[in-house]
Structure 1
Amino acid sequence: MHPFLDQNVGKVPYIGRARETILNDMGIATVEDLLTYFPRRYLDRTTIKSIGNLVTGEECTVVGEVVNSVLQQHRRRKILHVTLRDATGYMTLNWFQGHQWIQKVLKPGETISVSGKVDFFRGHTMTHPDFDFVDRDQLNTGMLVPVYPLTQELRKRGLNSRVFRRIFNRLFNQCPPQLPDPLPDDVLHQIRILPYRDALYQMHFPDDEASLKKGWFRFKFQELFMLQLLLAIKKKTIREQKSPYVCSHAGDLIHKLYHSLPFDLTNAQKRVIREIYEDLRSGHIMNRLLQGDVGSGKTLVAAAAAAIMIDNGYQSAIMAPTEILANQHYINFNQLFMPLNIPVALLTGRLGAAQKRESLTHVANGQTPIVIGTHALIQEGVTFSKLGFVVVDEQHRFGVDQRGLLIKKGMNPHVLSMTATPIPRTLSLSLYGDMDVSILDEMPPGRKTVRTRVVTPGGLALAYDFIRKEVRKGRQIYVVYPLISESEKMDLKAAEAGYEELRDEIFPDLKVALLHGRTPSREKEAVMQDFKGGKIHILVSTTVIEVGVDVPNASIMMIENAERFGLTQLHQLRGRVGRGAEQSYCLLVNRKNTEQGNTRLRILEKSSDGFEIAEADLQLRGPGEFFSTRQHGDSGLKIADLVSDMPIMIKARKEAFKLVEKDPQILLPRHRNLLDFFLKHYRDKLDYATIG
């Protein structure tokens, strides 16, 4: 980038070795890292409240001088009381913890800003307020004073906002008038963005609110542009790779498959199969995401694609995230292909040694054209004759993250990733922007909408009566409890207690069974088979995945503590019923019975559109909670927000894809700064793509 930006942060004035270590631990190693350590908020001196005008219960910011601090014993604990004053009066700040270092840094005479909720006890008070050091002269001259995110370690080392402002002031005095801009000139002009150095300055020393907004826009756009550039490069790299598995014809097998079905395909299924066939015959590698609600017919689409591959002499592998779902796919594919004399193999950890050896041999010599299992299918010990097509179920990131592994094995197959989670366009552009997307937006005819109702504690008796009536009709019931990783033990106890209550007190005459993540695999499989066979009336489960087996006879999905689930999860759970011809129901039990919880859950009462629900879920919970980080990773965004910054995302995507179309490897001289920046910050995310 530039010698000034690449300097070690330890050489910056006011840093020193001890502070350098803390900053390094936070990922701040260079001057560039430090300059992009942006304030988390700004004090507007025109909106700071004076102590004499405080109102109990309001959230506000006060600037004053520390008068004294006293550590007092109150019954069993110590409380630090700090007195603050301004020209209009006094107030007390209280801390129940962190006494030593807070008392050490809040010395009499210091001018600080405090933010928090105002209480009243013998005068105005704030408990555990957010605080920072400010300079009186700066408050009198600058409209907007930056406040930086501070860890306890930073505070202990005296690195507060006032010190950061001194550091940045010195840095900008030393900074060259021009810095290399990662964004190309034509993008800057097209979008009307502040140049790099000017934007950095406005982030730390804003002239006014309008200039500050321009600074934030610049860095949000830059972050989203780099993300989209990454996706554009990956997409172009895949598209330009010649596929060794070209399907020159659709073949007879797919027609035989169609004619063997007791129903017609939906128009959406026909459209998506055509899209996939175009990919398979194009000569380029397919990297497609198939989205569709539970029950929309994704499995049949995957089977049709596998049939095309078989007729062209290639193998297909279907990978599921769990053994239960792998077994389900195995059953479904067998039902479809056995009448057509096409063998299907299952490869999971539960197979016996002899059976596994036989399956591996048949897969390796090409005798078995369709293989189903967990994603261990692509690990060591599994070899294929001609694996041309991989279907990945519910592992959304596989198409991007695991492609490198497939390439290393010399396969380079077409990849179809399937998900029953309707992904809002916002997330789709940022997480799957390197993939082509197909959507099944039509349900098979005759499938009835699941009727959904929110149930409060007062309505449980009626709900149980309704369940009993359904069981008398020969129907079966799911009861699902949330299982949140942070409180797994408590949740498990709640599920077990709920199961015992249902079994012993509410439905003592019915067969009730319990499944959870710690149930041994053999027992789990036996319970699921008993439920599917109608031997169990009510199945209590703690996880979504355990109810992955299709049970057309199940007509009620009762979800306990539904307010703890995301709307998208609830919608997916709801899709587990309504598989048969009878009317099905979903009961959302809101134990807390809060107005907020009821309002949120009633979205599901009104809508059965997965994408509409997903958009609402994203708005309510934000992208961080929409997906579990463990399974999907995150977008890597630090400044931009995937929901509120959607308009910026669309602009950034347009410019990034336009640039890659003209300069696929970012080799043009005018893109030199961009290439340097991109390789420095994103090289490790490129996987299999090569640029520069």
Structure 2
Amino acid sequence: MKMDSQYQKNSNFLKTGVTVLKGVSPYRQRLLAKLGVLTAGDLLEYFPRSWEFLPEPAYISELRKGMDASVVGIIESIDFKQFRRPPFVEVYLVDNSGNFRLVWFNGGYILNQIDIGMPLLAYGKVSSYKHQLQMTNPRFRVLEEGEYADVKSLGGSVYPATKGLTTGQIKYLIRNSLETLCQHVPEFFTDQYRQKTQLLSRKTAFHQIHQPLEQQEADQALRTLKYEELFLMQLGLALRRNRVAKSNPISVMGWDKKLDTHIRRRFPFMLTEDQDAVIDEIVADMLSRHPMNRLLQGDVGSGKTVVAVYAALMAVANKSQAVIMAPTEILAQQHYDNICRYLEGSRVNIKLVTGSITGKKRQKIHEQIKDGEIDIVVGTVALLNDEIEYRRLGLVVIDEQHKFGVDQRARVRKGALPHTLVMTATPIPRTITMTAFGDLDVSVIKHSPPGRGRVKTRVVEQGKRDEAIEFIHARIKAGKQAFFVYPRITSSEDETEVKAALYEHKRLSIKDFPEFEVGLLHGRMSAAEKSEIMESFRSGKINILVSTVVIEVGVDVPNATIMVIETADRFGLAQLHQLRGRIGRGQSDSYCFLFGDLENEIAAKRLAMMEKSHNGFEIAEFDLSIRGPGEMFSTRQHGMPDLKLANIVEDFDLLCMARRDAAQFVKDDPLLEKPENVNLREAIIDKYGEKLGLIGIG
């Protein structure tokens, strides 16, 4: 029988329900669950949000006006002046040197917490009232027996609390369990490594983050635990990258100049230098004996789809099937139409697979895919259907990859090891690329194809709205088309100020543009309705398309040169940049008008950035610095747990250090087999094993 390792024994204890710890009753267990604390390990990793380091308590006789002071004494009297305006609680505290007045305005709530004869610690600024020294609204703590002597421990950690469970009670629970918990904390690094990287032992770090005696101790603990978070993430990604590189060899694809020329003839335009450079990288990957695993970033309209089609045709030329998966039916249909146009007259068989294709037609397509009759399959999440089997899957292209979770991206491969190209038009800052996509090779298309008009962006104040509508009216009268984008389909009762597509469609049709055809597009429509509306807009039958963000990705109508985004401050900058990318697809200059709340200083700054820059990467970095990673770039979206302590923007230097160190670890010990790396290997399997396909390293 296999014995559990020391790591597993410790891990099993830390995974035990929190009631195993002293002082955690079933009632407190329910309250802790509200804070996400379910296990003993969760309590150990329930980190303080801040620390308070109090000055040594002064005797009452030593207090002076203007001092920030701590004072400890016995409550001599309590008086609630409830009929004064405002009402206040007055407490007199005594020690061996005198007495001292404490006042809490509107402080009736503290009467249930204090009583005459209790020892009390109060801290705040000393003021004076009618020649008498006092503290007004001081922070305080009723002392428990034995706390008198250790004043530094009375400050310390401040925890996020919940109703029924104060920060003091959480601190008390953690303090009583900390020794027990730390006995089960495995070390990840050798003494020599910790000395080189200036890290604390894990036991010391957990002690110091929960019970620091001064700010320097808290800072040391934070650095160690942040590094550990980032290192484990980077180590997981480095192991997966190494695993893919060393995975079972696949058949090498063939390529030569003749094939290159044959593919390029299919495009009715010259490719840009950026596209050529990325194609060279992809060809090198596909000529390798190991599967390509590449992320292609390109700003809106930069020509990523052409690169994907080149890769697909290379796979088809090597008698393999290619799959292109898009997040929406509109985008999948557009990819399908464009590829059909490029390949008109060729022998390449292409089929579209979406949720709206059902019955015998769907069954027939599935049979053709299985038999290898279909060369390129374009579709939506319908491609994840278990019924779909490929004869020889050689390439998977996933467009707008941030719209899909890791599980979906894995399922589309159907257990095979094809070359994989994931694409995004949402520019991803380098910090995010390093955390969420550290296992991928990255290519970037920086420049758009020549011959496209400029896109001019204007933030419109409320008073100039009519002027903007007049300008738009003139452009539509001249034969151009416009998008009007809204954040909601309908407004809810608590968001009446947020403009919604259904109501605004009626208003624009009747009031602002009665002589033009105004269409409506939103996510609740059927696939057939969406397709019909988009076709009417492309053909010019609809002059103005009122829409939600369903048009965020992929919609390509060169004659649409106007975009109005209502309540623009409600959108992330990356999303605004994506939406703006729907115009400027033709040769004419285009105009993007942003209507939003300019009174909010941060909102005004963000919208001003949209006026200033058309560089998606610059905009994404700016948005990241103001808002933080957010859900769009959340590590959870990519199968990685959210970071508890580290911040990839603020701790970028630490992230770079962790990435470099993790790569060296994998280079020196690819399967983490050395005795000193056993705990790291088991921690990685525990944390990321299934998500990153690392179970095999165990």
> Which category describes the TM-score, using the shorter chain as reference length?
0.7 to 0.9
Report if aligned partners of 1:396, 1:417 keep a CA contact under 8 Å in 2. Answer: no
Aligned counterparts of 1:398 and 1:546: Cα–Cα separation in 2: 15
Report if aligned partners of 1:64, 1:85 keep a CA contact under 8 Å in 2. Answer: no
- Corresponding residue to 2:424 among 415, 419, 426: 419
Task: Note if 1:382 corresponds to 2:395.
Answer: no
Alignment of 1:9-408 (within 5 A): 9-20=18-29, 22-23=31-32, 26=35, 28=37, 31-46=40-55, 87=100, 89-93=102-106, 109=118, 111=120, 137=148, 140-141=151-152, 144-155=155-166, 160-161=169-170, 163-164=172-173, 166-168=175-177, 171-172=178-179, 180-250=186-256, 252-396=258-402, 400-402=406-408, 404-405=410-411
Aligned counterparts of 1:298 and 1:179: Cα–Cα separation in 2: 47
Q: Residue 596 of structure 2 aligns to which amino acid in structure 1?
A: N
Task: Note if 1:525 corresponds to 2:531.
Answer: yes
Report if aligned partners of 2:487, 2:499 keep a CA contact under 8 Å in 1. Answer: no
Q: Residue 541 of structure 1 aligns to which amino acid in structure 2?
A: S
Q: Secondary structure at the match of 1:614?
A: helix
Structure-2 change in CA distance of 1:485 and 1:507 (3 Å): closer
Q: Residue 451 of structure 1 aligns to which amino acid in structure 2?
A: K
Q: Residue 368 of structure 2 aligns to which amino acid in structure 1?
A: H
Deviation at 1:354, TM superposition (A): 3.7
Deviations 1:485-529 (A, max 9, x none): 996994786333322222211222222122222233322222111
Aligned counterparts of 2:600 and 2:540: Cα–Cα separation in 1: 36
Match for residue 563 of structure 1? 569
Q: Secondary structure at the match of 1:10?
A: helix
Deviations 1:406-425 (A, max 9, x none): 56x44221111111100001
Q: Secondary structure at the match of 1:415?
A: strand
Deviation at 1:475, TM superposition (A): 0.5
Aligned counterparts of 2:111 and 2:686: Cα–Cα separation in 1: 42
Match for residue 546 of structure 2? 540
Deviation at 1:18, TM superposition (A): 3.9
Aligned counterparts of 1:300 and 1:348: Cα–Cα separation in 2: 22
Aligned counterparts of 2:201 and 2:591: Cα–Cα separation in 1: 57
For structure 1, which segment, 410-419 or 556-565, has the greater mean C-alpha deviation from structure 2 after superposition?
410-419
Structure-2 change in CA distance of 1:54 and 1:285 (3 Å): farther
Q: Residue 145 of structure 1 aligns to which amino acid in structure 2?
A: G
Match for residue 131 of structure 2? none
Deviations 1:564-621 (A, max 9, x none): 1111111111111000000011111124543432222111111111100000010111
Report if aligned partners of 1:337, 1:344 keep a CA contact under 8 Å in 2. Answer: no
Match for residue 685 of structure 1? 691
For structure 1, which segment, 495-504 or 484-493, has the greater mean C-alpha deviation from structure 2 after superposition?
484-493
Report if aligned partners of 1:516, 1:542 keep a CA contact under 8 Å in 2. Answer: yes
Task: Note if 1:475 corresponds to 2:488.
Answer: no
For structure 1, which segment, 19-28 or 596-605, has the greater mean C-alpha deviation from structure 2 after superposition?
19-28
Task: Note if 1:620 corresponds to 2:631.
Answer: no
Structure-2 change in CA distance of 1:238 and 1:134 (3 Å): farther
Structure-2 change in CA distance of 1:84 and 1:197 (3 Å): farther
Report if aligned partners of 1:665, 1:691 keep a CA contact under 8 Å in 2. Answer: yes
Q: Residue 472 of structure 2 aligns to which amino acid in structure 1?
A: I
- Corresponding residue to 1:514 among 516, 520, 523: 520
Report if aligned partners of 2:634, 2:642 keep a CA contact under 8 Å in 1. Answer: no
- Corresponding residue to 2:659 among 653, 659, 683: 653
For structure 1, which segment, 104-113 or 213-222, has the greater mean C-alpha deviation from structure 2 after superposition?
104-113
Aligned counterparts of 1:14 and 1:382: Cα–Cα separation in 2: 54
Structure-2 change in CA distance of 1:20 and 1:591 (3 Å): closer
Match for residue 120 of structure 1? none
Aligned counterparts of 2:281 and 2:570: Cα–Cα separation in 1: 38
Deviation at 1:81, TM superposition (A): 7.7
Q: Residue 473 of structure 2 aligns to which amino acid in structure 1?
A: R
Aligned counterparts of 1:481 and 1:236: Cα–Cα separation in 2: 45
Report if aligned partners of 1:319, 1:391 keep a CA contact under 8 Å in 2. Answer: yes
Q: Residue 440 of structure 1 aligns to which amino acid in structure 2?
A: I
Q: Residue 90 of structure 1 aligns to which amino acid in structure 2?
A: V
Task: Note if 1:441 corresponds to 2:441.
Answer: no
Match for residue 586 of structure 1? 592
Report if aligned partners of 1:194, 1:214 keep a CA contact under 8 Å in 2. Answer: yes
Deviations 1:93-148 (A, max 9, x none): 569xxx8xx87556675747799xxxxxxx9998xx99976677478445952122
For structure 1, which segment, 213-222 or 31-40, has the greater mean C-alpha deviation from structure 2 after superposition?
31-40
Q: Residue 459 of structure 1 aligns to which amino acid in structure 2?
A: K
Aligned counterparts of 2:659 and 2:480: Cα–Cα separation in 1: 50
Structure-2 change in CA distance of 1:235 and 1:615 (3 Å): same
Structure-2 change in CA distance of 1:124 and 1:192 (3 Å): closer
Aligned counterparts of 2:539 and 2:371: Cα–Cα separation in 1: 37
Report if aligned partners of 2:556, 2:585 keep a CA contact under 8 Å in 1. Answer: yes
Deviation at 1:543, TM superposition (A): 1.6
Q: Secondary structure at the match of 2:509?
A: helix
Deviation at 1:629, TM superposition (A): 8.5
Alignment of 1:620-639 (within 5 A): 620-627=626-633, 635-639=641-645
Deviations 1:133-177 (A, max 9, x none): 66774784459521222222434xx97155236415xx439966x
Report if aligned partners of 1:315, 1:387 keep a CA contact under 8 Å in 2. Answer: yes
Aligned counterparts of 2:501 and 2:92: Cα–Cα separation in 1: 53
Structure-2 change in CA distance of 1:667 and 1:378 (3 Å): same
Pairs aligned (count): 666
Structure-2 change in CA distance of 1:353 and 1:165 (3 Å): closer
Aligned counterparts of 2:407 and 2:123: Cα–Cα separation in 1: 45
Task: Note if 1:463 corresponds to 2:474.
Answer: no
Give the gaps of 5 or more residues in structure 2.
1-5, 94-99, 125-133
Q: Give the aligned CA root-mean-square deviation in angstroms.
A: 3.9
Deviation at 1:61, TM superposition (A): 12
Q: Secondary structure at the match of 1:340?
A: coil
Aligned counterparts of 1:323 and 1:660: Cα–Cα separation in 2: 41
- Corresponding residue to 2:557 among 551, 563, 566: 551
Give the gaps of 5 or more residues in structure 1.
74-78, 116-122
Deviation at 1:41, TM superposition (A): 1.1
Q: Residue 264 of structure 2 aligns to which amino acid in structure 1?
A: Y
Q: Residue 151 of structure 1 aligns to which amino acid in structure 2?
A: T
Report if aligned partners of 2:327, 2:403 keep a CA contact under 8 Å in 1. Answer: no
Q: Residue 91 of structure 1 aligns to which amino acid in structure 2?
A: W
Deviation at 1:337, TM superposition (A): 1.3
Q: Residue 19 of structure 2 aligns to which amino acid in structure 1?
A: G
Q: Secondary structure at the match of 1:540?
A: strand
Q: Residue 539 of structure 1 aligns to which amino acid in structure 2?
A: L
Q: Secondary structure at the match of 1:462?
A: helix
Q: Secondary structure at the match of 1:207?
A: coil
Report if aligned partners of 2:354, 2:381 keep a CA contact under 8 Å in 1. Answer: no
Report if aligned partners of 1:243, 1:413 keep a CA contact under 8 Å in 2. Answer: no
For structure 1, which segment, 275-284 or 390-399, has the greater mean C-alpha deviation from structure 2 after superposition?
390-399
Structure-2 change in CA distance of 1:350 and 1:94 (3 Å): farther
Structure-2 change in CA distance of 1:539 and 1:27 (3 Å): closer
Match for residue 76 of structure 1? none
Deviation at 1:545, TM superposition (A): 3.4
Q: Residue 269 of structure 1 aligns to which amino acid in structure 2?
A: Q
Aligned counterparts of 2:696 and 2:304: Cα–Cα separation in 1: 33
Aligned counterparts of 2:358 and 2:288: Cα–Cα separation in 1: 40
Report if aligned partners of 1:250, 1:308 keep a CA contact under 8 Å in 2. Answer: no
Q: Secondary structure at the match of 2:343?
A: helix
Deviations 1:232-271 (A, max 9, x none): 1111111111343421224745422312433211111111
Structure-2 change in CA distance of 1:107 and 1:618 (3 Å): farther
